């Protein structure tokens, strides 16, 4: 049924019915505010705003995938603090011509990721808007002191989880409506684009073991997000080009773009963190615990050296490739 027929309050009622009852939720959807438990006495809070035409394109993104990804990017922020997510507050601005089935599909995408991570939708707002607008806020807790951006030190190793550039390379194929000869490889990249995996186990394990000296999730591209750590910590960084973890699918399809997307493509949602050299063996062990590859890709250097990308022979790329800025492009 079109939302213009269904009406706001029937829609809210449909959403309420579809929402699983969650742990710690004393009052969920349907009142002025939700009421939830926060047993640790402190909360982690993060939010993302996604607008049609800026952050996603409904031509190539299904409503299910959009729901999944909207939650994933927020869980990734909680992971980057070493926290555990608990509650979702979701506000949607929806064009009135949308069908309630599309909205239901969006929520199914949310729940598909929420359920295995034991996160509960507890409230939000639903409104009409010209362009589909998604605002997600996630509240979590920090069983261990959160890992910040501003605490990396010169001499620390630099690591990333997973592989880099897959989501951005997928977007290139989507934007140029390119078909790849290697359809299996493209399918893998597209999955990484549409369903990023928030690295919650890795983030929490790093916090529990106090292994990361600084951490951020890669949403705007490796170099840009590394730049945030460097600026906040007052250091520089040397990144080893030949050590960047690339997926087989990425290597198959990147062509002459090489490592461009791995360095500066957005939406990896992998964790980028620093750790002391003496903890290398302990970091390596985490791969098995968090079920994700962890690769050492560089080292923290004094601030005047800036951020440099070097190859195995030590030659600098003098890269001017940067990441994404929403206002300046």
Q: Does 69 bind its own copies (CB under 8 A)?
A: no
Q: Would you count residue 139 as binding its own copies (CB under 8 A)?
A: yes
Told to check if 4 binds its own copies by CB under 8 A, we report yes
Residue among 22, 107, 148, 265 that touches its own copies (CB under 8 A) = 148
Structure tokens at 174: 């989507």
Asked if 104 is part of the footprint of its own copies (rule: CB under 8 A), the reply reads no
Binding residues for its own copies, how many (CB under 8 A)? 78
Q: What are phi and psi of 85, to 5 degrees?
A: -75, 150
Q: Per-residue x/- marks for its own copies, 172-211, CB under 8 A?
A: ----------------------------------------
The reply to whether 124 sits near its own copies by the rule CB under 8 A is yes
Nearest to 77 by CA among 145, 166, 137: 137
∠ CA 298-300-304 to the nearest 5 degrees?
125
Alpha carbon of residue 327 to chain centroid: 20
Residue 53 or 116: the one with the smaller Cβ distance to its own copies is 53
Answer yes or no whether residue 7 interacts with its own copies by CB under 8 A: yes
Asked whether the beta carbons of 234 and 280 are under 8 A apart, the reply is: no
Q: Which residues contact 64 (CB under 8 A, 6 or more apart)?
A: 105, 106, 108, 109, 112
| Interface with its own copies in residues 28-47 (CB under 8 A) | 30-47
* Position 78 contacts its own copies (CB under 8 A): yes
Site for its own copies in 245-304 (CB under 8 A): none
- Determine contact, residues 86/54, Cβ cutoff 8 Å: no
Pick between residue 58 and residue 96 the one whose CB is nearest to its own copies.
96
Cβ of residue 148: shortest distance to its own copies, in angstroms? Answer: 6
Strand intervals (E) in 241-329: 271-275, 294-302, 307-310
């Amino acid at each position: 049924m079109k939302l213009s027929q269904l009406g706001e309050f029937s829609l809210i009622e449909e959403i309420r019915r579809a929402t699983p009852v969650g742990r710690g939720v004393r009052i969920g959807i349907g009142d002025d505010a939700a009421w939830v438990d926060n047993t640790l006495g402190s909360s982690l809070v993060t939010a993302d705003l996604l607008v049609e035409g800026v952050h996603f394109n409904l031509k190539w993104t299904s409503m299910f995938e959009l729901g999944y990804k909207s939650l994933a990017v927020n869980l990734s922020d909680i992971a980057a603090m070493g926290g555990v997510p608990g509650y979702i507050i979701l506000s949607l601005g929806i064009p009135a011509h949308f069908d309630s089935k599309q909205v239901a599909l969006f929520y199914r995408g949310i729940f598909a990721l929420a359920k295995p991570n034991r996160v509960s939708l507890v409230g939000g707002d639903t409104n009409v808007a010209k362009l589909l607008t998604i605002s997600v806020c996630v509240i979590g807790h920090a069983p261990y002191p959160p890992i910040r951006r501003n605490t990396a030190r010169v001499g620390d190793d630099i690591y990333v989880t997973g592989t880099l550039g897959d989501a951005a390379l997928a977007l290139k194929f989507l934007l140029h409506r390119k078909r790849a000869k290697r359809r299996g490889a493209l399918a893998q990249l597209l999955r990484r684009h549409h369903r990023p995996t928030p690295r919650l186990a890795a983030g929490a394990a790093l916090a529990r073991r106090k292994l990361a000296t600084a951490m951020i999730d890669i949403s705007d591209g490796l170099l840009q997000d590394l730049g945030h750590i460097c600026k906040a910590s007052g250091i520089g960084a040397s990144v080893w080009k030949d050590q960047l973890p690339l997926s087989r699918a990425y290597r198959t399809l990147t062509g002459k773009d090489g490592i461009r997307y791995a360095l500066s493509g957005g939406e990896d949602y992998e964790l980028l963190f620093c750790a002391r050299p003496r903890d290398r063996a302990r970091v390596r062990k985490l791969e098995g615990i968090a079920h994700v590859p962890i690769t050492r890709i560089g080292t923290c250097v004094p601030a005047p050296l800036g951020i440099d990308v070097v190859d195995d022979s030590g030659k600098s790329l003098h890269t001017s490739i940067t990441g994404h800025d929403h206002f300046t492009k």
